[in-house]
Structure 1
Amino acid sequence: MERFFKKAATPLVGTQGQETNRKRTRLDPNSNFEVPSDPGLRPPISNYDLNDHDFVRRQYLLAGPRQPMLQDFPQTLFVDKQRRFNKAWYNQYPYWLEYSMQKDAAYCLCCYLFKAENREGGGDAFTSVGFKNWKSKKSLDEHVGGLNSAHNIAVSKCQNLMKQEQSIQTVLEGQSKRSQNAYRLRLTATVDCIRFILRQGLAFRGNDESEGSSNRGNFLELLRFLADHNVMIEGVVLQNAPSNMKLVAPEIQKDIIAAASVETTNKIMEELGDELFSVLVDESRDVSGKEQMAVILRFVNKQGSIVERFLAVVHVKETTSLSLKAALEELFCKHKLSFSRLRGQGYDGASNMRGEFNGLKALLLKENSSAYYVHSS
């Protein structure tokens, strides 16, 4: 049954059918259809025009059941014990069980799609009202019922609905699979080149990146080198890539660099954990003349070694101590760091940094007297 229920990472975009004065509006077949992200907020299937029912159902089945993996589900008091939805139920009922975060309730995707036609069994608990009895999963088993239960009939109808275009879908999936593999290989080669250049601290672009240039810059030359030594990569990059999907534009490079920055920062914060730390700060101007502040964390890792990790470069409007502190507070808030964990601060000899009364050092000592100052050159 798995092939009939596909999960989507994001909801589709478009316009839902609306009901005005009991006259159901037809959906535009050329527009995408929006599948609500929460099952507790979706309109009944009967709200849509009868001619659109199969289309709407198919979009829901392609999107798959909504199964958010929350860390902690809300608790409800039953008699004398707090109980809540169990995410392990997703594994037991993977193709139809849904959970609404808005209503803290469970729903059945198949019964929602075909309940109006069955009109028997299951009531509204798993379709419109939502099931909230978390005492045991017995009620879920009862909802499934026997071979000819209303639920299993709805499941069969879902399967039959998706089979209608199976032959066409198989062809499209084959083409899509090849396109996905080519794109994945192209993206991997691009990311590998960017990672190499970042690690070596090299410039990405060259003075002349035109086709006839003898040196098109580090990124394009490295990608060309990979293509020359790997037939599979050669077949999907540069001149062999679709014109609108070469993945070599500076904007694409910046997006991947930003993603690499986020992943690197996450690793640093994971390495730091809940440990105490010191901060090293220096301010300077970039090539465009904008003021910026470089921030480095110094701490003892889980192996007992003292490490320094470059956290960020923050642009500031001015280099006064108040502006630097505000920028540091914003950076700490972004990465969920607290001044209470700060045990040291190091700057150069500038008055705005180490001033006894109004310098950044003094401002941080007011926040935390344990943030001892050490001069750093």
Structure 2
Amino acid sequence: MLSHSSKKQSIDLNNLEVDPTKRTSILNYDPNLRDEIRRAYLKLGPCQPNITEYPQSYIAKAMCRFNSDWYQAYVWLEYSNNIYQGGGELDEYVGGPNNIHNQAKRKCDDLTQQRQSIRVAFDRQSDQIKIEYWTRLNASIDVIRLLLNQGFSLLGHDESESSLNKDNFVEVLS
């Protein structure tokens, strides 16, 4: 069960709707919960019901039906019993490796690799490294606030050796 206190929204990740025509839009969830919900959907995999005979539709003057072999060719492909938009032009529609569908598939794979996330990488660091990071971050923010309050730029337009306003940020920080 995933919950977020600010919106009092709780979601049972074990009972998410798998049918793409019935599932709640990701935009309707609290932004702080969306990545966890996406990961749960990705763990479920695409909705690929194995039906012995898919319904036929009249498309481009011919009777056509969905083909379950397309699941192997397009691992991200989903099918809903509520709607059928199939046809034999999937290769043309999907396109090459840099097509939006394949880019989205790679992004989904990246999302499921939590070991690669910034949060996980940061959590693996020692306490000393975390303290040093927060010290540097807070010092940088304090210097930026000081320069902005004084009306100075972070970097001067005149970066010559004789300039007195060269690289204000680095000068104050050091």
TM (normalized to structure 1)? 0.28
- What number of residue pairs does the alignment pair up? 117
Q: Quick one: which amino acid aligns to residue 150 of structure 1?
A: I
**CA drift at 1:43:** 1.9
Work out which of the residue numbers 61, 67, 76 in structure 2 matches 1:96.
76
Instruction: Determine the structure 2 residue equivalent to 1:216.
Output: none
Q: Is the 8 A contact 1:26 1:49 kept in 2?
A: no
**CA drift at 1:85:** 0.7
Aligned sequence identity (%): 39
The answer to whether 1:64 aligns with 2:26 is: no
Instruction: Determine the structure 1 residue equivalent to 2:96.
Output: 146
| Higher strand fraction (1 or 2) | 1
- Distance, in Å, in 1 between the alignment partners of 2:45 and 2:91 is 20
**CA drift at 1:156:** 1.8
TM (normalized to structure 2)? 0.56
The structure whose RCO (Cα within 8 Å, separation 6+) is larger is 2
Relative to 1, partners in 2 of residues 1:141 and 1:40: Cα closer, same or farther, differing over 3 Å?
A: same
Instruction: Determine the structure 1 residue equivalent to 2:151.
Output: none
SS at match of 2:78: strand
Work out which of the residue numbers 156, 168, 178 in structure 1 matches 2:106.
156
Relative to 1, partners in 2 of residues 1:100 and 1:147: Cα closer, same or farther, differing over 3 Å?
A: same
SS at match of 1:38: coil
SS at match of 2:101: helix
Work out which of the residue numbers 18, 26, 29 in structure 2 matches 1:37.
18
Instruction: Determine the structure 1 residue equivalent to 2:166.
Output: none
Q: Over aligned residue pairs, what C-alpha RMSD do you find?
A: 3.1
The answer to whether 1:54 aligns with 2:54 is: no
Relative to 1, partners in 2 of residues 1:45 and 1:88: Cα closer, same or farther, differing over 3 Å?
A: same
Relative to 1, partners in 2 of residues 1:44 and 1:89: Cα closer, same or farther, differing over 3 Å?
A: same
Relative to 1, partners in 2 of residues 1:142 and 1:78: Cα closer, same or farther, differing over 3 Å?
A: closer
Q: Show structure 2 runs of 5+ residues with no match.
A: 121-174
**CA drift at 1:146:** 3.0
The answer to whether 1:28 aligns with 2:10 is: yes
Q: Show structure 1 runs of 5+ residues with no match.
A: 1-13, 18-23, 106-131, 169-377
